[in-house]
Amino acid sequence: MQAQTSTRSKGKIALIAGGVVLALLALAVAAAGGTGIWAATSQKDAHGFVSTGKHAFDSQARAITSEGVDLETGIPQWLIGKIRIETGATSRPLFVGIARTSDVDAYLAGVDRAVVTDVGFDPFRVSYSQHAGTRSPSAPASQHFWVASTQGSGRRALTWETRSGSWTVVAMNADGSPGVRADLSAGASFPHALWIAIGVTAVGLLLLTGAALMIAGGFRRPPASAVRSRSAPPGSEPASAAGAASS
């Protein structure tokens, strides 16, 4: 009898512990979904993009580039969305373009450039890796490998519908001269972000319901009849049955 009680107690403890772990997981999933809903409903601009503020990228090199960004193959186009880069007004014409990393590396081979390696936003900070070079590049707008680009001295924007591959963002003076300063903001659109976030939140709530049921099951007491039957010694009969037999 004591062994059965001990086993049952261990089972209840395991049920409660499992419910607590599941509840923590459920809260994390639901919080992620809630954050996604907030971002999808309140952080988008009129064109459906979630963007950073404009920040200054400055280098004495002839080009400022991002590191290569790998977009894996097989990602559905409807999930990735679009990328938008906006520029502030500049004192001289600025070129900003996106191209395959291999094309950018070939174009800027031997050219002095600064590669952005880290960016922080609170407060804003940017780190560069300097790649020395002595070659003067041809004007960036004369190249034909850009998948999206913009050029000018006023406020401008480029929008690119993402594709699989490795891609690099480049900012240069339009004539390829050294000393680049660009006030840039980057944004992305996620056409189905709201529905994805709602789905994630729903999963979190379902997991939380399951966790509550597990915890409640761990604390639930067995029915009184089950307690009496477990406490009766072997071979004994309930009092009512014994009275009926004697009569």
Residue 226: its pLDDT value, please? 52
Burial (CB < 10 A; 0-12, 13-18, 19+), residue 203, is middle
Q: Tens digits of per-residue pLDDT, 111-151? A: 999 999 988 877 888 899 999 999 999 999 999 999 999 99
Residue 247: its pLDDT value, please? 47
Task: Kindly report the CATH class assigned to 49-188.
Answer: mainly beta
**Of residues 194, 62, 71, 185, the one with CA closest to residue 130:** 62
Q: Tens digits of per-residue pLDDT, 185-214? A: 887 766 665 566 677 788 878 888 887 887
Parse the chain into domains and list their residue ranges: 1-44+192-223, 49-188
- By three-state DSSP, how is residue 207 classified? helix
- By three-state DSSP, how is residue 51 classified? strand
Q: What is the mean pLDDT of residues 25-32?
A: 81
Q: What is the mean pLDDT of residues 95-107?
A: 95
